[in-house]
Structure 1
Amino acid sequence: MRIVRTILGCVFVMLIAIAPARAQVSDADVGAIRGVISEQIDAFRAGDAVRAFSYASPAIRNQFRDPGTFMDMVRTGYAPVYRATATEFLEIRYGRRGPEQDVYIVGADGKPVIARYFMQQQSDGTWRINGVVLRDAKDLVT
C-alpha cells in the first residue's frame, strides 16, 4: 500500500510539473496519442502483427520492412510491451522530437517498467509511434 501511495504521489507531482509542457500538446492530440499506444499494445496482446505494425511511423516500418520482423523485434527487445498485463498513462511532454508519452507497464514477468513513447504526427493528422525506450519503474520512486 505504501508503494501505491508513493507512486500516486509521484504521479500527482509529475502532473503538476508537466502542465506548461502539456500546453503544447492539445487535449485532442493527447487522446489520439494514447489511443494509438493502447491500440498497439492490444494488438501485441492479441498477437496481431499486422495491426501492431500499422501504428508504427513510416521510419520504423521502413526499418523493419514487414510485420513479422517488427513483431520479432518487439517480442525479444520489448517483452514488457509485447505482453503487458497492466498499463497506466503517466506524463506527456513535448520534447525535441515531438510529444513523448510515458506509460507505466507491468510485463508478463510481473516487473514494472516505464515506456517512453516518441510520437510523430503524420501529414494527415494521425499519430504514429516513432520509437520506445524502456526504463526500470523503480526510477519513479527513489
Structure 2
Amino acid sequence: MRTVLLFFTLMFMPSAAIAVDAAARDAAKATVERQIDAFRRDDAATAYAQAAPAIQGLFPSPETFIAMVKQGYGAVYRNRRYSVDRIEDAGDEGMALGVTLQDEDGADWAALYSLEKQSDGAWRITGCRLVKAPGSKA
C-alpha cells in the first residue's frame, strides 16, 4: 500500500492530553470540511487559510499551496464524496480526524488529518496522511 504525505505532519509535543469538548470537535471538523470544499471550488485563499502557520510557511502563497495539492493529491483536491468518520484527541491542544474520500475515478482513500488549536482559538490543519484503501478500484 502506498502512503502519500499531503503536508508535513508535525509531531505534537508530548504533554497531558486534554479532553476536547463537542464544540472543539465541531470546530476542527468544520476546518477540514471548509478546506475540502474550498478545493472543490478552486478557492485557494480559503483552502490556504485552513492550514496552520507552519504549513503556510512551506507554501508561501495560496497559489503555491493549491498547486501542490492539485499536482499530487487528487483524492483531496477533487473527490466524488467524503465523510469525517472519527475525531480523536491528539495531545495537548491537538486533534486528529479520520476522513474517507472517493476520488473522481472511483478509488477509495483514507486520510488522517492532524489539527492544532492556535493561540487565537482557531483549529488549523498541521498535516494529512493519505492512504489508498485496500482493494480499492482504479
Q: TM-score, normalised by structure 1?
A: 0.77
Residues 43-70 of structure 1 show CA distances to partners (whole Å, capped at 9, x for unaligned) of 0000111111011000000110001110
**Paired residue type of 2:131:** R
Aligned to 1:92, what secondary structure does the other structure show? Answer: strand
Counterpart residue number, 1:138: 134
The code of the aligned residue for 2:73 comes to Y
1:58 and 2:53 are equivalent in the alignment: yes
Q: Tell me the residue number matched to 2:95.
A: 99
Identify the residue that residue 20 of structure 2 maps to in structure 1. 25
For 1:119, which of 106, 115, 118 is the aligned residue?
A: 115
Q: How many residues align?
A: 117
How far apart are the structure 2 equivalents of 1:82 and 1:24? 31
1:138 deviation in Å? 2.7
Counterpart-to-counterpart distance in 1, 2:19 and 2:133: 26
Higher percent of residues as helix = 1
Q: 3-state SS of the aligned residue for 1:70?
A: helix
Unaligned stretches of 5+ residues in structure 1:
1-22
State the TM-score, normalizing by the size of structure 2. 0.79
Per the alignment, residue 76 of structure 2 pairs with 81
Aligned 1:24-43 pairs, distance under 5 A: 24-43=19-38
Identity %: 38
Larger Rg: 1
CA shift, 1:90, in A, is 1.0
Q: Distance in 2 between matches of 1:47 and 1:96?
A: 32
Task: Indicate the larger mover: 25-34 or 87-96.
Answer: 87-96
Work out the CA distance in 2 between the residues paired with 1:27 and 1:78: 30
Provide the rounded CA distance (Å) in 2 between the counterparts of 1:114 and 1:45: 18
Q: Deviations over 1:2-37 (max 9, x none)?
A: xxxxxxxxxxxxxxxxxxxxx822111110011111
How big is the alpha-carbon RMSD for the aligned residues of Structure 1 and Structure 2?
1.7
Q: Aligned to 2:134, what secondary structure does the other structure show?
A: helix
Greater RCO, 1 or 2 (C-alpha within 8 Å, sep 6+): 2
